[in-house]
Amino acid sequence: MSARILDGKVIALEVTEALRPRIAQLARPPGLAVVLVGDDPASAVYVRNKTRRAGELGMVQRQITLPATTSEADLLALVDALNADDAIDGILVQLPLPAGLDKDRVLDRIAPEKDVDGFHPINTGKLWQRRPALVPCTPAGVVELLRRTGVALRGVDAIVVGRSNIVGKPMVALLEQQDCTVTLAHSRTRDLAGAVGRADVVVAAVGVLELVKGAWIKPGAIVIDVGMNKRPDGKLGGDVEFGPATERAGWITPVPGGVGPMTIAMLLANTVGAAERASR
């Protein structure tokens, strides 16, 4: 068997193009503010990609770059100002923050209705209660990719490898909402190979190059690779051993070009949704 490829670039383009008529309906363009503190080169690339696509869609995009020496008080004051700014519907503070800045204090300060990353504890709680909430972009993008396979998810066994607050845990909540039976695996999981081998849906969000071996994959499974790791040759690689996994999986995402573009698409969808709610 050779897996069908879930092309995140194509699907992300479809998702973002579908936002255009919604944007056109609004009295003013949706506004996204992206705050970058420090000069981490990878973060700068992510921020550029996010704001560029927002601009292409006619959204107001404001990139605010602050020096790594910025005090927490100044960063909190900026968040307060953006919370109060009627032209801004979504606020994203790019992680990681430089040492000395308390990530939780900063993210908790973002108004929940403008928290387009979906990391605020209010949104996290609502997600688990199945109440309307801003949902973290990467797991939301994974759900969209799963939807595009057309495979019925009700009752299937899913595994999420990795339990971060921003990917793994919200992914579990979203798969549970799809009526999957979900296993959450992490670094203390005893038999990862066995657990992956029982799963019809595998979401790998670990950050270890090719941790999930192709030979573990259940024949026909859907494999979603969130990982973004540097290969020894400097290129980007996933958490799944791609080549061997394609021999067994039914569907698989490549890295790059799978989940990454979907994260940006869902961020923009969240921002448009926030603007729609703000306009009511």
Residues belonging to the active site:
50, 94, 117
Which of residues 61 and 183 has its CB atom nearest to ligand NDP in the complex? 183
Shortest distance (Å) from residue 267 CB to ligand NDP: 10
Residue in 20, 48, 186, 231 binding ligand NDP, rule: CB under 6 A: 186
Residue in 131, 188, 190, 280 binding ligand NDP, rule: CB under 6 A: 188
User: The tokens 């029982």 sit on which residue?
Assistant: 198
> How far apart are the C-alpha atoms of 231 and 209, rounded to whole Å?
7
Question: Total residues at the site for ligand NDP (CB under 6 A)?
Answer: 26
* Binding of residue 124 to ligand NDP (CB under 6 A): no
* Binding of residue 228 to ligand NDP (CB under 6 A): yes
State how far the alpha carbon of 93 is from the alpha carbons of 43, 62, 100, 150, in Å.
10, 12, 15, 34
Site for ligand NDP in 63-92 (CB under 6 A): none
Shortest distance (Å) from residue 139 CB to ligand NDP: 9
Residue 183 one-letter amino acid: T
> How far apart are the C-alpha atoms of 124 and 130, rounded to whole Å?
10
* Binding of residue 189 to ligand NDP (CB under 6 A): yes
Helix runs in 58-191, H state only: 72-83, 103-109, 121-128, 137-149, 168-177
Yes or no: say if 52 and 44 are a contact pair by the CB < 8 Å rule.
no
- Measured from each CB, the residue nearest to ligand NDP is 164
Q: Which residues of 243-274 are buried (b: 16+ CB within 10 A; e: fewer)?
A: eebbebbbbbbbbebbbbbbbbbbbbbbbbbb
Residue in 138, 183, 253, 271 binding ligand NDP, rule: CB under 6 A: 138
* Binding of residue 259 to ligand NDP (CB under 6 A): yes
- Which region among 67-75, 84-92, 122-130, 256-264 touches ligand NDP (by CB under 6 A)? 256-264
What contacts 171, CB < 8 A, 6 or more positions away? 138, 139, 142, 160, 203, 205
What contacts 266, CB < 8 A, 6 or more positions away? 15, 135, 137, 138, 140, 141, 144
Residue in 38, 90, 139, 162 binding ligand NDP, rule: CB under 6 A: 162
Shortest distance (Å) from residue 140 CB to ligand NDP: 11
- Site residues for ligand NDP per CB under 6 A: 138, 161-164, 166-168, 185-189, 192, 205-208, 211, 226-229, 259-260, 263
